[in-house]
């Protein structure tokens, strides 16, 4: 059994964070484990409260998993502060883990901050150089790389600058693109660009899309897929999950984690 770990925040509403990650791992048939960094009181309307855990609590969860079960791939989501980023980076080095996916979560769709501003520098210096792939959305890429992204050329330039920070691959996601008909995720491995395009789905129910996408990449890496192939599967997974999104609550509802597997079983 292949094993995937998520180091992220808990979303009580179940659409993003740890909950989205574990649902995605399950659907892609890897064994899911978690180390929680913060508990959020959250629903489809937004984040009502954030309770970060101590560095010790985060490290102990990771240690328990490392000492007994092991990890084939891991992702990080909401890390909240520089101390947690530092501790997670140390655990990655200590355990010699290589399949590291960074979703640099900063701001929830409702506007709540999920990463303290001063932690961006720790992310750049400590964690990004250890990772196999990073999956920023456009606003996150703009903050980390410190440039405006308005065009495909800008996305390509930002992707190059990510590689200069020491990460091996990058996907700059297209959910925040202005094109009303299409989303384009730009993949770059330091050598070649790949443009992953899909039909833009006209919906408000996109809570947890970034979490789900990066969790799907992590699951596929845990199963031994190559990075680019893992990203292609993740793009199909998130497209299906948004197309069959679940209109729950009164705000941004969640995506549908069953959709991808349901479709594959129909195709067989």
Ligand X SMILES: Cc1ncc(COP(=O)(O)O)c(N)n1
Residue ranges that bind ligand X, judged by CB under 6 A: 8-9, 11, 16-17, 40, 42, 77-78, 105, 108-109, 114, 207-211
Q: Which tokens in the block code for residue 256?
A: 């549908």
Q: Residue 238: which of ligand ADP, ligand X, none does it interact with, CB under 5 to 8 A by kind? A: ligand ADP
* Catalytic annotation, pick one of 208, 212, 218, 253: 208
Q: Is 173 a catalytic residue?
A: yes
Q: Residue 17: which of ligand ADP, ligand X, none does it interact with, CB under 5 to 8 A by kind? A: ligand X
Q: Is 211 a catalytic residue?
A: yes
Rounded Cα gap, residues 266 and 128, in angstroms: 39
* Catalytic annotation, pick one of 209, 212, 218, 255: 209
**Smallest gap, in angstroms, from Cβ of residue 259 to ligand ADP?**
13
Q: Is 210 a catalytic residue?
A: yes
Task: Report the residue number, 76 or 183, with the smaller CB distance to ligand ADP.
Answer: 183
Residue ranges that bind ligand ADP, judged by CB under 6 A: 137, 173-176, 183, 185, 198, 200-201, 206, 209-210, 213, 235, 238-239, 242
Q: Is 209 a catalytic residue?
A: yes
Rg (CA), the chain: 17
**Smallest gap, in angstroms, from Cβ of residue 60 to ligand ADP?**
28
Q: Is 206 a catalytic residue?
A: yes
Q: Would you give the end-to-end CA distance of the chain in angstroms?
A: 23
Q: Is 15 a catalytic residue?
A: no
* Catalytic annotation, pick one of 24, 37, 76, 206: 206
**Smallest gap, in angstroms, from Cβ of residue 111 to ligand ADP?**
13
| Kind and range of the H or E run holding 46 | strand 46-52
207 and 247 in contact (C-beta within 8 Å)? no
The 3 state secondary structure assigned to 132-197 is: CEECCCHHHHHHHHCCCCCCHHHHHHHHHHHHHCCCCEEEECCCCCCCCCEEEEEEECCCCEEEEE
Task: Report the residue number, 13 or 210, with the smaller CB distance to ligand ADP.
Answer: 210
Rounded Cα gap, residues 137 and 161, in angstroms: 15
187 and 210 in contact (C-beta within 8 Å)? no
Phi, psi angles (nearest 5°) of residue 250: -115, 10
Task: Report the residue number, 19 or 183, with the smaller CB distance to ligand ADP.
Answer: 183
User: Hey, which residues are catalytic here?
Assistant: 173, 206, 208-211
């Amino acid at each position: 059994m292949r094993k995937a770990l998520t180091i992220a925040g808990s979303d009580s509403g179940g659409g993003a964070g740890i909950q989205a990650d574990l649902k995605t791992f399950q659907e892609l048939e890897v064994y899911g484990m978690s180390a929680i960094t913060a508990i959020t009181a959250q629903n489809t309307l937004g984040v009502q409260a954030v309770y970060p855990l101590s560095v010790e609590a985060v490290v102990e969860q990771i240690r328990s998993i490392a000492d007994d079960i092991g990890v084939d791939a891991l992702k990080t989501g909401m890390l909240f502060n520089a101390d947690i980023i530092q501790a997670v980076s140390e655990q990655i080095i200590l355990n010699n883990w290589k399949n590291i996916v960074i979703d640099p979560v900063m701001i929830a769709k409702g506007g709540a901050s999920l990463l303290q501003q001063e932690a961006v520098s720790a992310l750049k210096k400590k964690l990004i150089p250890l990772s196999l792939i990073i999956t920023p959305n456009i606003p996150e890429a703009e903050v980390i790389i410190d440039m405006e992204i308005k065009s495909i050329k800008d996305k390509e330039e930002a992707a190059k600058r990510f590689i200069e920070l020491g990460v091996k691959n990058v996907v700059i996601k297209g959910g925040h693109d202005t094109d009303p008909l299409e989303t384009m995720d730009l993949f770059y491995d330091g050598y070649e660009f790949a443009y992953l395009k899909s039909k833009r789905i006209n919906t408000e129910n996109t809570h947890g899309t970034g979490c789900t996408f990066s969790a799907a990449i992590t699951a596929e890496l845990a199963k031994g897929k190559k990075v680019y192939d893992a990203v292609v599967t993740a793009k199909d997974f998130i497209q299906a999950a948004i197309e069959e999104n679940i209109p729950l609550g009164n705000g941004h509802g969640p995506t549908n984690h069953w959709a991808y597997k349901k479709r594959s079983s129909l195709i067989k």
